[in-house]
Amino acid sequence: MLELVKRRTVDLLVEQFWKQGYLTIRRKYGTYLPEPSKIGEFEVDIIAKYKKNYAIGITLTNEDFDDKNLLEKINFLATRQTKFSNKRVLLFIGTTSDLFKGAKDVVDKISPEGRKNIRLFQIMERPVLTMRKDADNKKVLFS
C-alpha cells in the first residue's frame, strides 16, 4: 500500500518536471526507465534533463520528516553541480498538501546558496474531467 502511494507521488512529480520542460532520464518505480543511483549516500526519485541543465527530484513523505538526516539530505542535494561544467543542478521537492508547510520550514533552514536551487511543489491528485457523467445522465435512445 505504501509503495503505491510512493509510486503515485513520483508520477505526480514527473508531471511537474514535464510542465517545466524537463525530460525524465531516470526514475523510481518506472517501467521503461532505469532507477537512479544514489547521489552521495542519499536516494533520489527522479533525474531529468532540460537542454544541458540537469535536475534531481525527491518526494517527501511522513517517514522522511521523521528522519533526522532530512535537513542534511536536502542541503547536500541542493548544492550539487555537474561533474565537468560545474553547472548547478536544480532540486525539485514534491510533497502532499498536508506536509507542504513542514517542507517549506525545512527548506527555510537551508543556506541561501542551496535555497536558490530548490523548487518546492505541492503535489495533489486532480479530479479527472470526463464527458462520461453527462452521457450517463441522458436517456438511452436504443437498447
Enter the CATH code of domain 2-137: 3.40.1350
The percent helix, strand, coil of the chain (3-state, each to 5) is 35, 25, 40
CA-based nearest residue to 45, from 73, 75, 72: 73
Calpha distance 88→52 (Å, rounded) = 11
Give the model's pLDDT for residue 62.
85
Give the model's pLDDT for residue 139.
65
Give the model's pLDDT for residue 25.
92
Strand pairing category for 90-95 and 46-50: unpaired
Give the model's pLDDT for residue 86.
84
Give the model's pLDDT for residue 33.
87
**Tens digit of each residue's pLDDT, the chain (143 residues):** 567 778 888 888 888 888 888 999 998 888 888 888 888 888 899 999 999 899 999 998 888 888 888 889 999 988 888 888 888 889 999 988 888 998 899 889 888 888 888 999 888 776 656 656 555 566 666 65
Residues 6+ apart with CB under 8 A from 7: 28, 29
Give this prediction's pTM.
0.80
- Does residue 56 contact residue 81 with C-beta atoms inside 8 Å? no
Give the model's pLDDT for residue 61.
85
